[in-house]
Amino acid sequence: MNHRPEPGDAPHLPIGAGEEVLRGSLRVEGISKSFGGSRALDDVSLTVRPGSVHALCGANGAGKSTLIKVIAGLEHADTGVIELDGEPVRVANPRHAADLGLGFIHQELNLVPTFSVLRNLAMGSGRTGRWGQLDLRRLSRDAVVVLERLQADISLSAQVDKLSVADRWMVSLARSLMRPARFIAMDEPTASFTDDEAHRLIKVIDELTSTGVGILYVSHRLDEVLSISDEITVFRNGRLVTTLAARETDRAALTTHIVGREVERVVASEQGDPGGTERAVRLRALGLSRSPHVLNASFDVKVGEIVGIAGLVGAGRTELARLLVGADRATAGRMELDGAGYAPRSPHQAIRSGVALVPEERRSQGLVLTGSVEDNLAMAEHGAARRTLRPFSPRRSRRTAEALIERFAIKTRSSRTAVHLLSGGNQQKAVVGKYVRTGPGLLVMDEPTVGVDVGARAEIYRIIGELASDGTSVLVISSDFEELAICHRVLVMRAGRIIAEVPASQFDKDHLTALSFGAPDAEEA
Ligand SMILES: Nc1ncnc2c1ncn2[C@@H]1O[C@H](COP(=O)(O)OP(=O)(O)OP(=O)(O)O)[C@@H](O)[C@H]1O
Ligand SMILES: [Mg+2]
C-alpha cells in the first residue's frame, strides 16, 4: 500500500496472532493456458511483492480469473511456472494452495448457501481438532474476530442464502481471512459493495500489507485500483499489455491500456431530454410498502425517463425492485402502469405487462448456466413474443442473439457456447442483453454494471440512453454513485423509505453519499 499506518496505531495482527506471518513474493513466469482452441492466457509473467498490492486489470474475458485459478490450483497451466520465494512450486489443488499460505476470494461465490455463516467460515479455517472434528469454540472465536475486523454485522448462525448479496461477499472475504496467509488473491471483491463497504475492505488490505502479506487484486473499479495499488498489470486478450507503477498512471491512461482505445464517460446531459412535466407517467407507486424493507414508497417514473435509486446496502432498494416486478407482493399501497392498475403476481406476469428486472444476482437468477448464450438471450424473447403476439422464430432468435453478442461485445466462441464457460463480466453482459432485447416499457436494473469492464460499461450506458429515447423507462439501482450520473433523476432510499429526490442538475456523488448515510445536514428537500 502507498499509505502505511501511522506510528502509534495499534499493531494489526492477522488472526491466529502469535502464529508466524510468512513473508515472501509470488511470481508467475511464462504462464499459458488454452481452453479448447482459444488462448485464455498467453505467456504471462508477473510478481506480487510482499506487503504490496498488485492489481490486475483488463476487459471482460481478458484472462484475469484464469490466472487466479491457475495459482489456486483450480486450473493447470499448459506451460509456465509459479514461484514462491524464488522456488518453483506445483500447486496441485486448492487445499495444497492453502497449505502454501495462499488465500483466495474467487469471482464466483463458493459458499454453501444452506450452511450457516459459521460452517462456511469453518471451511476456510483448515482447522480441525483431535479427531478431525472442528474445534468449534476456537473457530467461533476466530470468526467473531474476523467479522469484527470487517465491521460486518452478520450473525454466525445465519444461513448464508438468507443474507444479502453484499453480506455474502463479506462472508467470503471473512473466510479468506480465517487462516493466516502470505498472499491473497481477490477477484473483484468489491463488485457488490457500496463505497462504505469497499472502504472497510481497503482498510483490511492496508492492515494485511503492513504485516507483509502480498495482495493480487482484480477490479473493474479503476479509481479504487489507482488508489490502493502499488503496481498495476493490464491484460488484453490473454496477453500482458503492461505493468505500471500506480502512482505514475491515471484513469484515462489505464482505460486506454485496458480497452485498446479511448473511452468517453457518459453523463446525464448526454442522455437526451428527460422530458418535462408534460410527459406521460409510465409507472406510479402510491404508498407502496412491504414491511420492514419498503415503507410507504410513492414516486413516478415517466415515459423515457432514467431514474436512479441510491442508498446503502440494506436500504430496501432490491426489495422495492422485487415489488415492482411481482417477485414479492406489497402489504400496502398500489401501483399504476400507463394509467391503469398494476399488481403483478409474478415476474412472468410483469414481463407480459412490459416490466422486466435485470436482477442483482445474475448467475442464480438471471441465467440458465448450462444453456447456451443463444438460449439465454432467447428466453426473454419468448416472453416478448408472447406479449406482442408474434410467433417465436428460432432463426430470428439466433440472429438477434448474434446481434446482441456483437452489440455488447460478449466474448464467446459462438452463440452455442454454454453460458457458464463465459468470463464473469461476459455473463453479466448476457443478462443485461437478454432483457434489453425484449424492449420493455419499464426496465428495472439492479446493479447493471457490476463486474462489467470500462468499455462495455460505457456501451451499456449508451444502450440505456437509446432505450430511454425510444420511450422505455429505466430504473437503475446502483451502489456505484458515479454510475447514477447517467440518470435524469435520483431517488435516495434509507431504511426502507424514499427520503430525497435529486435532479440531474444537482447531482453530486458526495451529496448522495451523505443522504444515504443520513448525515443530519444532508436533507434539504
Ligand atoms: N473452463 C473454461 N472453458 C472454456 N473457456 C473458458 C473457461 N474458463 C475461461 N474460459 C475463457 O477464457 C477467457 C478468459 O476468461 P477469464 O474468466 O479469465 O476472464 P476475466 O479476465 O476474469 O474476465 P471478467 O472480467 O469478465 O471476469 C474467456 O474467453 C473465457 O470464456
Ligand atoms: Mg473474471
For ligand 1, what atom is nearest to the CA of residue 68?
Answer: 18
Distance (Å) from CA 251 to ligand 2 centroid: 20
Query: Do 324 and 360 touch, CB atoms closer than 8 A?
Result: no
Distance (Å) from CA 378 to ligand 1 centroid: 22
Q: Which residues line ligand 1 (CB under 6 A)?
A: 35, 40, 58, 60-66, 107, 411, 421-426, 453
Helix (H, G, I), strand (E, B) or coil at 183: strand
pLDDT confidence of residue 438: 65
H/E segment holding residue 80: strand 79-84
Q: pLDDT tens across 280-338, in order?
A: 999 999 999 998 889 999 999 999 999 999 887 678 888 999 999 999 999 999 999 99
Distance (Å) from CA 57 to ligand 2 centroid: 10
The side-by-side arrangement of strands in the sheet containing 239-245 is: 102-105, 183-187, 214-218, 53-58, 231-236, 239-245
Q: CA 272 → CA 264, 293, 336, 443, 461, distances in Å? A: 16, 33, 25, 18, 12
**Which of 16-25, 223-232, 515-524 is predicted least confidently?**
16-25
Largest CA distance in the chain: 74
Supply the angle between the helices 373-388 and 394-407 in degrees, to the nearest 10: 120
Supply the angle between the helices 394-407 and 424-436 in degrees, to the nearest 10: 130
Mutate to test the pocket of ligand 1, among 35, 70, 415 (most ligand atoms within 8 A of CB): 35
* CA 451 to chain CA centroid, nearest Å: 5
Look at residue 525 and tell me whether its pLDDT is greater than 50.
no
DSSP H helices, 366-423, are 373-388, 394-407
Distance (Å) from CA 424 to ligand 2 centroid: 5
Q: What is the mean pLDDT of residues 386-404?
A: 73
pLDDT confidence of residue 180: 82
Q: pLDDT tens across 496-515, in order?
A: 889 889 888 777 777 777 78
Domain boundaries, the chain: 268-354+440-517, 367-427
Residue nearest to atom 2 of ligand 1 (CA): 421
Query: Do 419 and 430 touch, CB atoms closer than 8 A?
Result: yes
Mutate to test the pocket of ligand 1, among 31, 188, 421 (most ligand atoms within 8 A of CB): 421
Look at residue 269 and tell me whether its pLDDT is greater than 70.
no
491, β-bridge pairs: 309, 501
Ligand with an atom nearest the CA of residue 425 = 1
Look at residue 76 and tell me whether its pLDDT is greater than 60.
yes
Show Cβ contacts of residue 464 under 8 Å, excluding neighbours closer than 6 positions. 271, 306, 445, 448, 474, 476, 486
Query: Do 307 and 274 touch, CB atoms closer than 8 A?
Result: no
Q: What is the mean pLDDT of residues 240-262?
A: 89
Residue nearest to atom 25 of ligand 1 (CA): 60
Ligand with an atom nearest the CA of residue 428 = 1
Between CA 296 and CA 285 the distance in angstroms is 9
Distance (Å) from CA 27 to ligand 2 centroid: 20
Distance (Å) from CA 422 to ligand 2 centroid: 9
Q: Which CATH class is domain 268-354+440-517?
A: alpha beta
Residue nearest to atom 8 of ligand 1 (CA): 421
Ligand with an atom nearest the CA of residue 107 = 2
For ligand 1, what atom is nearest to the CA of residue 412?
Answer: 31
Supply the angle between the helices 424-436 and 373-388 in degrees, to the nearest 10: 20
- Percent pLDDT > 70 in the chain is 84
